[in-house]
Amino acid sequence: MENGGATGNGEEAAAAVAAWNFAPNEGLLGLTALSVRGVLGRVKAGMVEDGAARSVIPLGHGDPSAFPCFRTAPEAVDAVAGALRSGDHNSYAACVGIEPARRSISQYLSRDLPYELSADDVYLTSGCAQAIEVVCSALARHGANILLPRPGYLFYHARAVFNGMEVRYFDLVPERGWEVDLDSLQALADRNTVAMVIVNPGNPCGNVYTYEHLGKVAETARKLGIFVIADEVYAHLTFGGKEFVPMGVFGSVAPVLTLGSISKRWVVPGWRLGWIVTNDPNGIFRKTKVVDSIKSYLDISCDPPTFVQGAIPQLIENTKQEFFDKTVEILRQTADICWEKLKGISCITCPSKPEGSMFVMVKLDLSCLQDITDDMDFCCRLAEEELVVVLPGCAVGYKNWLRITFAIAPSSLHDGLDRLKSFCLRYSKPTK
């Protein structure tokens, strides 16, 4: 009877579904696996917080804003409050963003370039995530492919695939500071390749590219007839021996779409203000109508809040250098803590010390561990047993590696890495 009832219920459910004409977009159902949020949700699924005994240590995602030491600049808060109180920014904005904000961003970015950007080179978006969405949508055409870095931020993969583009991965070389393997990249490209993505400073690797390497990237793009999508959301968050160099410096060699936001440098990811910038002194994006495609997509998508756009000129002009210096100094300290403490964990190898962004990639040696099947199993058990959340490498295309963020309070980082070490010791294979 029970089996018969279950079958009956199943048949009834199927009949009920068949009675309706709508169904989900099948292309969306598998994309959660390509989302950092989705993977971290799986990691934390079995985690039960134990109240005051131990706090959760978030080493899995790059959002330091919850920690007082990373609080945004008071000038930024004043700029937003002033924009709200003015009553001048309660209306809809132009689809590309309001002109004073675009002009201010163009001037801000031009400080690091050998040419001047204009407001017309800037398109405002709801954070850098929407910038990725817009660019992938604007490029999509039948048969097109895009070159993405591995390891890398899989949001690019998700948006490209959703728009019907083919994704091809080129390798970053850990032994060379995660530089682009330009030979493998060139071997992947064909007449249907439209663009390549680089992330600098790097997520998830914590690398910073040199002027010379970026020049080679630009020459390779020119040779292949493609443009560069430069994700620079972590611009100027560098604390090693290399200074940040924007890819737009090489815009006359190959056209560059620069993606950025205020999220990371101002530590305000919830304010959702990003941009797409055309670094293209030769006007190639206009001649090929890529600019028209971006504008058309923005006409049918949502905008960042107008009052945040209205705050941008004062936010950029008034924020003191001391605030940026303080943020970088904390990241320098926490990167040092991470580098030194990871050396003492036998089953983890860190190929290079992070020099920028908020992350480091480390290799997991499963041969040293017992009863751990892969990186996802490792992270799920770590979260459940130690309340430490780390992102498995599979979420950035690098299975059996881990991405660890050090953009948290130093005391919490010490605690989290100590718990990580205890966990690894508990699962270490006994020595013979």
Assign 269 to helix, strand or coil.
helix
Q: If you search the block for the tokens 């030769």, which residue do you land on?
A: 282
Tell me how far the alpha carbon of residue 14 is from its chain's centroid: 40
Cα–Cα distance, 125 to 215 (Å, whole number): 28
Tell me how far the alpha carbon of residue 177 is from its chain's centroid: 18
pLDDT in tens, the chain (432 residues): 344 444 567 788 788 778 888 888 887 877 777 789 899 999 999 888 776 678 999 999 889 999 999 999 999 999 999 999 999 999 999 999 999 999 999 999 999 999 999 999 999 999 999 999 999 999 998 899 999 999 999 999 999 999 999 999 999 999 999 999 999 999 999 999 999 999 999 999 999 999 999 999 999 999 999 999 999 999 999 999 899 999 999 999 999 999 999 999 999 999 999 999 999 999 999 999 999 999 999 999 999 999 999 999 999 999 999 999 999 999 999 999 999 999 999 899 999 999 999 999 999 999 999 999 999 999 999 999 999 999 999 999 999 999 999 999 999 999 999 999 999 999 999 876
Crossing angle of helices 375-386 and 36-43, rounded to 10°: 60
Helix locations, 179-273, DSSP H: 182-188, 211-224
Assign 367 to helix, strand or coil.
helix
Asked if omega into 151 is within 30° of 0 (cis), the reply is yes
Tell which residue, 105, 139, 100, has the closest CA to residue 122.
Answer: 105
Residue type, 414: H
Single pTM value for the model: 0.94
280 contacts 256 by C-beta, under 8 angstroms: yes
Structure tokens at 431: 């020595």
Cα–Cα distance, 103 to 287 (Å, whole number): 23
Rg (CA), the chain: 23
Q: If you search the block for the tokens 């890819």, which residue do you land on?
A: 247
Assign 168 to helix, strand or coil.
strand
User: Would you call 310 exposed, middle or buried from its count of C-beta atoms within 10 A (0-12, 13-18, 19+)?
Assistant: buried
